[in-house]
């Protein structure tokens, strides 16, 4: 799509650094330069204000990536595109059947009501909970990683959704200030909300996480 729009050498395309490297690679394959903008801490998608601040005379497009089942603020991002004459492209997530989304939302609501010691996700704007992403408060990555190891030891499958932001990878390393991206990479952890989970398994997730809440700085 970038090539079809004429993007190439000398052009800049704004992309998120929080997520998969494939988006930045696609920009590079088109011959353009990826420019990283910060994310909104609630949606984990591009922050429209950060995108606008990153626009230069060489910017031709923005690639918006929807994350974890929570959509980006598309109206505001399109507004940025219209003001600056930019192409706004979206990378969506695979669509799940409605009944599956409903079951994921039920499991997410169960966790929202019972978890303590972690920040639960903001469920606004039609969140479908492709992933249930919490933040572990405390001392960033060390506490998050220790929390993950302890939860796994209790039989709960959890993982770090973004281990290294793209702007920290050798091929795309940039000296750019992305505080929300860095914070999210250090604090986030994905907990299961699969539709196959039983009530007992959901209770195990809550028990495993809440048993550790006292070891960390409380989440308010």
User: What does the alpha-carbon distance between residue 76 and residue 92 come to, in Å, rounded to a whole number?
Assistant: 17
The answer on pLDDT for 219 being more than 50 is no
Q: Each residue of 117-131: pLDDT tens digit?
A: 899 999 877 899 999
Q: How confident is the model at residue 220 (pLDDT cuts 50, 70, 90)?
A: very low
Residues in Cβ contact with 21 at an 8 Å cutoff, skipping those fewer than 6 apart: 166, 169, 171, 172
Of the pLDDT bands very low, low, confident and very high (cuts 50, 70, 90), residue 218 is very low
What are the pLDDT digits (tens) for 35-88? 999 999 999 999 999 999 999 999 999 999 999 999 999 999 999 999 999 999
Which helix (H) or strand (E) segment holds residue 81: the answer is helix 74-84
**Any idea how long the chain is?**
220
Rounded Cα–Cα distance for residues 162 and 133 (Å): 11
The structure's pTM equals 0.92
Nearest to 70 by CA among 99, 39, 49: 39
Within 10 A of 14 (CB to CB), how many other CB atoms are there? 28
Q: Is 195 left (phi over 0), alpha (psi -120 to 50) or beta?
A: alpha
Cβ-contact 27, 166 below 8 angstroms: no
- Among 65, 126, 66, which residue's Cα sits nearest to residue 98? 126
The confidence band for 213, taking pLDDT boundaries of 50, 70 and 90, is: low
If you average pLDDT over every residue of the chain, what do you get? 92
> Over the stretch 124-159, which tens digit does the pLDDT of each residue have?
778 999 999 999 988 889 999 999 999 999 999 999
pLDDT (tens digit per residue) in 153-179: 999 999 999 999 999 999 999 899 999
Question: What count of other Cβ atoms lies within 10 Å of the Cβ of residue 134?
Answer: 23
Q: Which of 46, 44, 34 is nearest to 77 (CA)?
A: 46
Predicted local confidence at residue 207, as pLDDT: 95
Q: Pick the residue with more confidence: 218 or 77?
A: 77
Contact status, residue 86 vs residue 92, Cβ threshold 8 Å: no
> How do 87-91 and 59-65 pair as beta strands?
parallel
């Amino acid at each position: 799509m970038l090539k079809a729009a004429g993007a190439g050498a000398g052009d800049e395309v704004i992309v998120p650094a929080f997520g998969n490297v494939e988006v930045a690679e696609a920009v590079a394959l088109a011959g353009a330069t990826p420019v990283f903008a910060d994310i909104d801490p609630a949606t984990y998608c591009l922050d429209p204000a950060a995108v606008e601040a990153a626009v230069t005379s060489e910017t031709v497009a923005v690639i918006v990536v929807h994350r974890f089942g929570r959509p980006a603020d598309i109206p505001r991002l399109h507004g940025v595109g219209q003001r600056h004459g930019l192409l706004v492209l979206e990378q969506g997530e695979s669509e799940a059947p409605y009944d599956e989304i409903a079951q994921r939302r039920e499991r997410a609501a169960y966790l929202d009501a019972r978890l303590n010691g972690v920040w639960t996700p903001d469920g606004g704007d039609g969140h479908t909970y492709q992933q249930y992403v919490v933040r572990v408060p405390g001392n960033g990555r060390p506490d998050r990683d220790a929390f993950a190891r302890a939860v796994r030891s209790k039989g709960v499958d959890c993982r770090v959704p973004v281990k290294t932001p793209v702007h920290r990878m050798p091929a795309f390393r940039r000296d750019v200030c992305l505080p929300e991206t860095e914070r999210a990479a250090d604090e986030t952890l994905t907990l299961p909300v699969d539709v196959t989970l039983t009530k007992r398994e959901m209770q195990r997730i809550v028990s495993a996480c809440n048993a550790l809440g006292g070891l960390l700085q409380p989440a308010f």
